[in-house]
Structure 1
Amino acid sequence: MRQIHFEDDFLWGCATASYQVEGAVDADGRKQSIWDTFSKVPGAVMNGDDGTIASDQYHRYVEDVKLMADLNFQAYRFSLAWPRIMPDGTGEVNMAGVDYYIRLSKELKKQGLEVVATLYHWDLPQVLQDRGGWTNRQTAYDFQNYAEACFNHLGPYVDRWITLNEPFCAAYLGYLTGEHAPGIKDAKQANRAVHHLNLAHGLALQSYRKTGLAAPIGTTLNPIAPRPASRKPEDILASEYARAFNTDVFLLPLFNQGYPKLVTEGMGISYPIEDGDMAIIGEKIDFLGINYYQEGAVVYDETKQGKNRDVPVWQPVTNQGWPVTPFGLLRILHYIQGFDPNLPLYITENGCASDDEVVDARVHDLFRCDYILKHLAICKQAIDEGIHLKGYFIWSFMDNFEWAWGYSRRFGIVYVDYETQQRIPKDSAYMLRDVIAGYCETL
């Protein structure tokens, strides 16, 4: 065993998303989101599950925040529900929804935790989807108005802002593969969504700079950069194609480098760019959040638009079938830091789903403990190699509604009994308590 040391200013946090944990979908003026609608589609979500109750954090946030504090966490990253704050997508602000987030923020500060608020974690108001959702350019401006309302009402309480969570998922899973809400399978719509999500981020950032608020603001990506399965030049090119389509279309515009030529020229994809868009998207961020879970491998395949095809890998997998590949995190950190050596980076999500059972009032999730420790070792190695990594947020603080998987997969370091809503910290929670206290031991 060896002990790994992180500096005292390294930020330790936990994370969730509104639709996954809050429940209370009809409470205090909240209206329908695309996930409320999608969950009603037969076969869309495993077992017909939905987020109607979820982990009931809307009513149990005081208990949850106390548990976060007891586990030594220094920050809580949660998302604001657009249909709770602005139920009609635009226009009037629902102050009852705002008040919930004020109460949550005050409770976090009372317990000594930083407030890290994500403006959008996929729960688009259904009324905006009825007008085209992210395929409609107007949605980017609607997001800007919603963001301004959040800045105005929650600005005094938020310590860090994140504009979007994983636009890859919102665009591609929502509009290309149809795995996520709104369940559309149309490549042209997906590519329009890519650009409008990027534009929404930039517009919100522009508005934020005018507020005079001092809290840092950034965005969060889930960079997907599969390694080449061989040293053949064509397989290396396949890896570059995969990274360009999955990651660089969101990453490069943040650094004023436009859309990657491998996508626009190599794949023949065009985006609905209007004058001034790319400068808006390239507005300087204060930090970048990185969500990392796995790395795959690809080979070249001329028959695919993206010129790449996934191939089997050898690593052990989580119960979602995702390979455990911690060194992929090191590769992606170096790649992203190369765009701006001084930009602070945060791991805003990392974790795994595993088969968790309660035995004698305990949950011994040793697979998850091993997963986390291996990735923390990589975080430390990255820092030692010059990466400007400033914090780590575990996904997820608690078991929750896992999107299309429903409640069949558990990512939490806190077990949730969905019948009683009892919270039971797992071994991974106590392990992270030790890590934050300064005792991080890995093989």
Structure 2
Amino acid sequence: MFYQFPENFWWGSSTSGPQTEGRVEGDGKGDSNWDYWYKQAPEKFFDQVGPGKASTFYEHYQTDIDYLVKTGHNSFRTSIQWSRLIPDGDGEVNPKAVAFYKEVFQRIKDKGIRLIINLYHFDLPYALEEKGGWLNKATVIAYERYARICFELFNPWVDAWVTFNEPIVPVEAGYLGQYHYPAIVDAKKAVQVAYYTQLASSLAVRACHQVDEDKKIAIILNLTPAYARSTAKEDQEAAEIAALFQAKSFLDPSVKGEYPKKLVAILKENQLLPDYTDEELKIIKENTVDFLGVNYYQPLRVQAPDKRKETHPLNVDHFYQTYDMPGKKMNPYRGWEIYEQGIYDLAMMIMKEYDNIDWVLTENGMGVENEGRFRDETGQIQDDYRIEFIKGHLIKLYEAIQDGANCHGYLLWTFIDCWSWLNAYKNRYGLVELDLYTQERRLKKSGEWYRQLANHNGFEAQE
């Protein structure tokens, strides 16, 4: 069967500034939270590879952008680094950053590629982190100023804006786990960070529309469907709460302009409500997003919490616990379940509960270790596993669109192997291979296949 996607469908990829650009002497970039953490604890990063080099996009953007064409892109999403544009977070603008981003954006537009620019991808200027980071309302004000500067400087090149990528991740990983800086466990602080991040997003939506009332702006959320272990009431309740925490804590205020009542009740009951004002809630209510970005990698399988193992300090395990479902299909390298049906279920949820808002699948991909094992005699990586992964997810996306989902595109993570937080280059996701030692780029088999996918606006697969 040939899976034909709608006309003008977005085909491309997503990446971010902190994961690709790197730093060079004299570029004027300030430290982000990641730059600082790497200096303090390089042993936490796989093979002690930090963000300083990344994929050297800052130095090689001219030829890297050519690979967007070679892999069939009609759309591309990346981010501006706040710490590059405004090194101390709320002071002077770095003119070298302005020149760099304008040159990059112009080159992308010259290739006829739709440009989606995200303002924040886990990277806070460390100067603001020192002052309390997202626990400090001053960071919200600084972010609104940063966003407005971006809109005023770069709007002519940008087809659509994004406020935040996966804002729940720094909350979970930085304040409930220990995978992002400041790597503490404090549920009360986690809720405050989440609230201030949402307020910042809503302020950016307002600023975008003030600068250009016709420009579309989104938020990108990793909407991981929560599936209960069983039909038992306790497991079903755990799945509902997991969805409230993981997805709807940002989805509802971003799309509907208000928080779910049950989530608010749970937070109140556990003395976790953030500091807020009625004026702030009004800003959130009146500045909802124009469309939604959805990142999907894996499902969230949950069960009722074991009351004998209640966590201290209070954490999400108090409300639900993950469930290791037997027999699931896995990506053994990343340790993530592969469950294509999750895309369809998300699409139906968006359609039924969120007025079928316009959305784009903004991340989906497969990270694999030691891909050099799959090199053929010509030296090309034969990543058929990645092609099959993409096909499986696209089939479910196609079915969702046929059933009425308002999805307008598919952006793979990612086009060239990129640096990935504590994992660094342990797992590779790209359509294009990056040699860390020579900085050479080589097209993988999936890169050639992806070009054909985009050129034909669909693909052939067995039903």
Normalised by the size of structure 1, how large is the TM-score?
0.96
Contact 1:164 1:201 survives alignment (8 Å): yes
Alignment of 1:42-191 (within 5 A): 42-191=42-191
CA positional deviation for 1:338:
2.7
CA distance in 2, matches of 1:197, 1:425: 37
Task: Tell which deviates more after alignment, 22-31 or 374-383.
Answer: 22-31
Counterparts of 2:43 and 2:27 in 1: how far apart (Å)? 30
**1: CA distance, partners of 2:217 / 2:265:** 32
Please tell me whether residue 365 in structure 1 is matched to residue 369 in structure 2: no
Question: Are 1:349 and 2:363 counterparts?
Answer: yes
Partner residue, 1:330: 344
- Which residue is equivalent to 1:206? 206
- Alignment match, 2:424: 406
SS of residue paired to 2:337: coil
Contact 2:258–2:284 at 8 Å: present in 1 too? no
Deviations 1:344-397 (A, max 9, x none): 110111101013114432011111111111111111111011010001100011
Following the alignment from structure 1 to structure 2, what is the Cα–Cα distance between the partners of residues 113 and 206? 26
* 1:6 partner amino acid: F
Indicate whether 1:259 and 2:272 are aligned.
no
Shift of 1:139: 0.7
Equivalent residues of 1:354, 1:365 under 8 A apart: no
Whether the 8 Å contact between 1:174 and 1:182 is mirrored in structure 2 is yes
- Maintained 8 Å contact 2:208/2:215: no
Q: Is the 8 A contact 1:86 1:92 kept in 2?
A: yes
Distance 1:296-1:255 versus aligned 2 partners, 3 A rule:
closer
2: CA distance between counterparts of 1:193 and 1:163?
Answer: 15
- The alignment status of 1:431 with 2:449, answered yes or no, reads yes
> Which letter maps to 1:88?
D
CA contact (8 A) 2:295 2:362 kept: yes
Question: Match of 1:409, as an amino acid?
Answer: N
Kindly tell me the number of residue pairs found equivalent between the two proteins: 442
Task: Note if 1:293 corresponds to 2:311.
Answer: no
Instruction: Measure how far apart 1:162 and its partner are.
Output: 0.4
How much does 1:257 deviate? Answer: 5.5
Paired residues of 1:46 and 1:405 also in contact (CA < 8 A): yes
**Deviation digits for residues 276-331 of structure 1 (CA, Å, limit 9, x no counterpart):** 22232231321100000000311112535543211112222221100001111111
Q: In the TM superposition, what is the alpha-carbon distance from 1:140 to its structure 2 partner?
A: 0.9
Distance 1:248 1:26 in 2: 42
For residue 214 of structure 1, report the CA deviation from its aligned partner. Answer: 2.9
Q: Counterparts of 1:308 and 1:201 in 2: how far apart (Å)?
A: 28
* Structure 1, unaligned runs of 5 or more: none
Alignment deviations for residues 139-169 of structure 1 (CA, whole Å, 9 cap, x no partner): 1111000001101110111111001000011
Task: Find the counterpart in structure 1 of residue 221 from structure 2.
Answer: 221
Residue 24 of structure 1 corresponds to 23
Give yes or no for contact 1:155–1:213 (8 Å, CA) kept in 2. Answer: no
Counterpart-to-counterpart distance in 2, 1:10 and 1:23: 31
Secondary structure of the equivalent of 1:390? Answer: strand
Partner Cα distance (2:264, 2:216) in 1: 32
Question: SS where residue 380 of structure 2 aligns?
Answer: coil
CA contact (8 A) 2:257 2:284 kept: no
Question: Aligned in 2, Cα 1:51/1:9: closer, same or farther, shift over 3 Å?
Answer: same
2:163 counterpart SS class: strand
Measured in 1, the distance between the counterparts of 2:252 and 2:412 equals 26
Alpha-carbon distance in structure 1 between the residues aligned to 2:64 and 2:321 = 42
Give distance in 2, aligned partners of 1:256 and 1:115.
Answer: 26
Identity %: 31
Secondary structure class of the residue paired with 1:30: coil
Superposed CA offset, 1:256-293 (max 9, x none): 46333443323523122212222322313211000000
Pick one of 273, 288, 309 that aligns with 1:270.
Answer: 273
Task: Tell me, in whole angstroms, the C-alpha distance in 2 between the residues paired with 1:362 and 1:54.
Answer: 22
Q: 1:441: which partner in 2? A: 460
Whether the aligned pair in 2 keeps the contact of 1:225 and 1:246 (CA below 8 Å) is no
Helix, strand or coil: the match of 2:43? coil
Distance 2:162 2:26 in 1: 25
Contact 2:350 2:357 in 1 (8 A): no
Match in the other structure for 1:317: 330
**Inter-partner Cα distance in structure 2 for 1:88 and 1:391:** 35
Further displaced range: 201-210 or 38-47? 38-47
1:61-82 residue CA offsets vs partner (Å, 9 max, x unmatched): 1111111112220011000000
- Shift in Å at residue 25 of structure 1? 5.5
Task: Report the secondary structure of 1:271's partner residue.
Answer: coil
Over 3 Å counting, the alpha-carbon distance change for 1:112 and 1:255 in structure 2 is: closer
What is the Cα deviation at residue 340 of structure 1? 3.3
TM-fit CA distance, 1:433: 1.1
SS state at 1:92 partner: coil
Deviation at 1:413, TM superposition (A): 1.5
- How many Å separate the matches in 2 of 1:266 and 1:133? 25
Task: Return the alpha-carbon distance in structure 2 between the equivalents of residues 387 and 72 of structure 1.
Answer: 24
| 1:308 and 2:320 matched | yes
Partners of 1:44 and 1:404 within 8 A in 2:
yes
Match of 1:386 among 397, 404, 413: 404
Q: TM-score, normalised by structure 2?
A: 0.92
CA distance in 2 between partners of 1:252 and 1:128 (Å): 28
Structure 1 runs of 4+ with >4 Å offset: none
Q: What residue is the counterpart of 2:313 in the other structure? A: none
Cα distance in 1, alignment partners of residues 89 and 366 from structure 2 = 33
**Letter in structure 2 aligned against 1:400:** C
The 2-side partners of 1:72 and 1:42 are apart by 37
Q: Secondary structure at the match of 1:337?
A: helix
User: Residue type of the partner of 2:61?
Assistant: Y
